Structure 1
Amino acid sequence: MIEMEIREPLLEVRNLSLSYEEQSIINNISFSINKGEKLLLLGPSGSGKSSLALCLNGLIPNSIEGDRTGSIKYAGKEIQSYKPGQLSSRIGVVFQDPDSQFCMLTVEDEIAFGLENIKLPKEEMIRKIEWSLSLVGLEKYRQAHISTLSGGMKQKLALACVMAMEPELMILDEPTALLDPVATKDFAETIDRLQREMNFSLIVIEHKLDYWVPFIDRTLVFTQSGQLMYDGSLKKGLVHHFDNMKDLGIYLPKVTGFGQQVKENFYPLTMDELMEELNEINLSPPIQTMNVFSSTPLIQMKHVSFSRGEKQILKNIHLSIKKGEWTAIVGPNGAGKSTLTLMLAGLLKEQQGEIFYGNKLFKDLDEKVRLDSIGYVFQNPEHQFIADTVFDEVAFGPRMKKIEDIDSKVANILSDFRLLRLKDHNPFILSQGQKRRLSVATMLVDEREFLILDEPTFGQDEKATNEMMKMIQSRVNFGMTALMVTHDMEIVAEFAHQVIVLVEGEVVFQGTPYELFIENSEIVEKANLENPLLYSIWNTYGIRGEPIAASVIKS
């Protein structure tokens, strides 16, 4: 008789529950992961995925308060039995908010910090720093101050810090949320290659699935109440739980959603699977539809430039945004997108050139008029919180303006953003996705004329994203002007009236989504963008010379 080897799991979770301030977050979940195994964690925003990551590396309850019950074993030992710091070199976590894990001033020192803690020799440390920076494309920023990096570049740095430690288990909590499409693809492929070479275990918490699906072994699906609904392959999960997953608002691969539109019970996971089926289907092309706007520009920038120290961020910017128009600003990480929006909000002053708001120079605008007219949603929502409760955070602006029926208006918008049950909670204890929804709600409640949103869908599940975009769209339909920075080209194609593409601080394109994705493929490539799915499919059919029919995408 041949004895079979029984492998002990690298990580084993049994009957784990977690609550904060009497609010249940995780409910009696059990699962395990073996050495070299790759897990994908799916669930709606606020379902406890990020809290689970904090439990797995011991930060809850050792450093972050929380009532935790159940068992978590790593390499056969309860995680409580490890000394402080022991797990950090074995379990690496990249959090949603990269700023929350930095403690040094420069890029090089931040990576070195962890390596010094494990007493790595200097020569080996230098090699690890160079190697990890090369993985994420930050070699040129080794001496840079972290405060000067864009949000996407900070996220890359957080990834580099974890990779330098070469952990046995890597947990990635929305690691590509602030990365441009090409960087997202490159990073997922890099993780796949490194995982095969180094055989570390991997847990990925992600909303953007498409680049992770090809090499993930198992998928765990969480419900809104923090229960484990499914544990198995993604394909089987879709076959048996597709409707439940859609109802929960979970993002699914773009090709899967498209496949369901063209054929019943068809659940493709890759473009190749989808295209095989589409060979027998008459596909319609995207058609440009014209929207009528006011001819009056609300915002104009003329010859605008901006520098930090010796580095020029924006170069001779010319652009125009009309009243009632929804504009998307897109481009690679570090292109100057957030800097541009901060200038349009009056939070940074132009160093050269002129900015007009209506028929007035921005610098001549009355401060009260500017604050009442322009709303700004920061990339990091915590940068704008000032109240002790969710309700008071949303009510702050209307109270300052002495708007009537404040309580009713605040309650309605909290309900729209699925935050009403959290109205008495402190904003800082919300999940990242809930914080983002709160930050948008504070700017929509008092009906500003011009709303600027920097990565508004960061940390959101599909349901929350769609609800948020439709609320903004309804305001635009009634005359509000909207400007958003985003890396999500599907949102750009569906909602934006015009697109501004920024590359290395320069505007290289301003036009409709149709013009960008159909007529300017070289700019799409130059700006590290990717075509929305329907445009990608259509371009493929166009290359094949297939027949064309008619379907509408707004542009």
Structure 2
Amino acid sequence: MSRVVEVNQLYLQFEANPNGYTLSDLNFRLDHGESLLLLGPSGCGKSTLTYCLNGLYPRELDGEIHGEIFINGKRTSDYRPGEISQHVGVVFQDPETQFCMLTVEDEVAFGLENIGVPHEMMEGKIDNVLEMVQMQTLKKSAISSLSGGQKQKLALACILALEPSLLILDEPTANLDPIATKDVIQTIRSIKERTNCSLIIIEHQLDGWTELASRCLLLNRNGEVFYDGDLRSAIKNKLALLQEQGIWLPKVTQYFLNRMTQIQRELPLTVEEFMKNPFPLHGYEEVNDTNIPLDTGSPYVEASHIYWDVKQQPIIQDISLTFYRGEFIAIIGANGSGKTSFSRILAGIQKPTKGSVSINGRKVGSWKESLLREEIGYVFQNPEHQFIANSVYDEIAFSLRLKMETEGIIKKKVLTVLETCGLLQLQHEHPYTLSQGQKRRLSVATMIVDNQPFLLLDEPTFGQDASSNAELMGLLQRRYESGATIAMITHDMELIHDYATRVIVLYKGRLVADLAPTELWELPLEKLHKWQLELPIQVQVQNCLKKEVNYATQSS
């Protein structure tokens, strides 16, 4: 079998970090047609390795690189600029960073033009790759009109048009709703069957991917490989190290690990695997993990008949809601349902076309901006949208300095937040040099340092490893328990189950549900799937166990 990737003794060091390596003594091989999960904690160098494999480094590297990388038997350094893209295709976390044209058809054609494909051959190639990702009917559509899942599929189509032998997916479903995530994974599975290309999948959330790739390459926080092999064996033999490094496990596997004092059997990697061979949890009484609401106070934030249009296209349609003090609210729905737009209107960042928002009975428009920001903290979906300083420390200290606090108090507050968010060692780094997961933690840190009583967070946990996720959610839970009102946009059904006291569901810009999490899970699956939602893994497992008990009872 031919070898697609060979990496020998790879070391990489950035100029900004002269005292340590981002990647250290990295060695691995990947054969033609093989699939690999590349796993590790946030900031361990997974995306950096991608830039080495696609030839971006060392050409654009501010630092040093040592070792050898071969793609299809040829050193990456021997490829001409741009040539390696025909062998290695990368789909990044945010597909919009890869687009440069206005329509679906033109975007796919752009890459083909760059490699000199004759115009008479383009039409067939474009149709072929759009058919592979189920987007033929959107060929003439504007990219701006696509949903998040459709944009991810378009990015995939653009790469497939170049017919690479290696496809690298860098957290391709990080910003997608549960049903769109399933759809993208199924699309990639279909592509793999049709093309037999090699795959490297970089992910934190493993659900849906384990059947596509059984081999995993595990990196630690020092950018070193500590395991290369089967995922089941890694869980069986390296569990303590996986947990220490904050590497996510499949959610169903973690569910049973949390509830079993002794592991006496092979744990399932998927819910489907468990359903084929369910087993009871002896000696463990299942409890409802959903948050019990604290005593909520008076009306706090009130949205009245909110509408918002863009170029006469309705985005938000007649939403009226009241948020009460001391709630932990999840705002959920499909990609493109209006969640981010609505949250920005609530925060006073965006004005509605019609309707009003009041805080403490006072309309947002009448608040002085500085006082409004002391009341509401907002964490953007894209962390870079809120960075303005040249170091992590100064980014967090910025708002405190605006309030004229002393440097002594500022230092104490900033260092506390840095440690809480796992950024203490990065305090002197520029925000833009951080990994995506680290940027997300910094964006949260800049908001929580001010202790605003109302926090609005847009996907605060995407791109986080298990340890960072637990730290962030623990921090938000403590803020909630101390009296803050939390409103969080998320696609993570487990977070909703474990933390939310109330769930607001948006669908096509309208409010379609406002209820407790336990009530949401009891709705018909057809309705949840229509809204692009899925049951949390623990609810799926519990439902399966209940069916088994009912079946056994009826049989006896």
Instruction: Give me the TM-score of the superposition, normalised by structure 2.
Output: 0.92
Paired position in structure 1 for 2:459? 455
Aligned: 1:474 with 2:478: yes
Paired position in structure 2 for 1:178? 175
Distance (whole Å) between structure 2 residues aligned to residue 398 and residue 154 of structure 1: 38
Paired position in structure 2 for 1:338? 340
**Kept in 2: contact 1:268–1:274 (CA 8 A):** yes
Offset at residue 152 of structure 1 (A): 5.3
Offset at residue 289 of structure 1 (A): 6.4
Distance (whole Å) between structure 2 residues aligned to residue 411 and residue 108 of structure 1: 50
Change (3 A) 1:211 1:287: closer
**Kept in 1: contact 2:149–2:181 (CA 8 A):** no
Offset at residue 518 of structure 1 (A): 2.0
Change (3 A) 1:288 1:443: closer
Mark the runs of 5 or more structure 1 residues left unpaired by the alignment: 1-6, 549-555
Distance (whole Å) between structure 2 residues aligned to residue 135 and residue 320 of structure 1: 45
Aligned: 1:44 with 2:50: no
Aligned: 1:15 with 2:9: yes
Aligned length: 542
Paired position in structure 2 for 1:3? none
Change (3 A) 1:464 1:278: same
Offset at residue 354 of structure 1 (A): 2.0
- Of 296, 301, 324 in structure 2, the residue corresponding to residue 299 of structure 1 is 301
Distance (whole Å) between structure 1 residues aligned to residue 299 and residue 147 of structure 2: 29
What RMSD in Å do the two structures reach over aligned CA positions?
A: 2.2
Aligned: 1:167 with 2:164: yes
Aligned: 1:439 with 2:436: no
Distance (whole Å) between structure 1 residues aligned to residue 289 and residue 422 of structure 2: 34
Offset at residue 420 of structure 1 (A): 1.0
Q: Residue by residue, what CA displacement relative to the aligned partner does 1:143-196 show, whole Å, maximum 9, x if unpaired? A: 555556665554443233223323210000000001111111111121112111
Paired position in structure 2 for 1:34? 31
Offset at residue 285 of structure 1 (A): 6.0
**Which runs of 4 or more aligned residues in structure 1 lie more than 6 Å from their structure 2 counterparts after TM superposition?**
none
Q: Residue by residue, what CA displacement relative to the aligned partner does 1:48-105 show, whole Å, maximum 9, x if unpaired? A: 1010001000101113433111000011110110111111122100122334323334
Farther off after superposition, 191-200 or 219-228:
191-200
**Kept in 1: contact 2:7–2:29 (CA 8 A):** yes
Distance (whole Å) between structure 1 residues aligned to residue 401 and residue 124 of structure 2: 56
- What letter matches 1:294 in structure 2? T
Distance (whole Å) between structure 2 residues aligned to residue 235 and residue 494 of structure 1: 26
- Of 70, 73, 90 in structure 1, the residue corresponding to residue 87 of structure 2 is 90
Q: Residue by residue, what CA displacement relative to the aligned partner does 1:390-444 show, whole Å, maximum 9, x if unpaired? A: 1000100111112340011101111111111111111101111111111110001
Q: Residue by residue, what CA displacement relative to the aligned partner does 1:196-253 show, whole Å, maximum 9, x if unpaired? A: 1111000000011110101214100000110000001111111110111011111100
Mark the runs of 5 or more structure 2 residues left unpaired by the alignment: none
- Of 478, 488, 492 in structure 2, the residue corresponding to residue 488 of structure 1 is 492
Aligned: 1:421 with 2:422: no
SS at match of 1:529: coil
Paired position in structure 2 for 1:536? 540
Paired position in structure 2 for 1:4? none
Paired position in structure 2 for 1:553? none
Change (3 A) 1:260 1:361: same
SS at match of 1:446: coil
Percent identical: 43
- Of 207, 228, 236 in structure 2, the residue corresponding to residue 231 of structure 1 is 228
Aligned: 1:376 with 2:378: yes
Q: How does 1:119-198 map to 2 (within 5 A)?
A: 119-122=116-119, 124-133=121-130, 142=139, 146=143, 154-198=151-195
SS at match of 2:540: helix
Paired position in structure 1 for 2:349? 347
Distance (whole Å) between structure 1 residues aligned to residue 466 and residue 296 of structure 2: 32
Q: Residue by residue, what CA displacement relative to the aligned partner does 1:481-509 show, whole Å, maximum 9, x if unpaired? A: 11111111001111111111111111111
Aligned: 1:274 with 2:271: no
Distance (whole Å) between structure 2 residues aligned to residue 269 and residue 67 of structure 1: 39
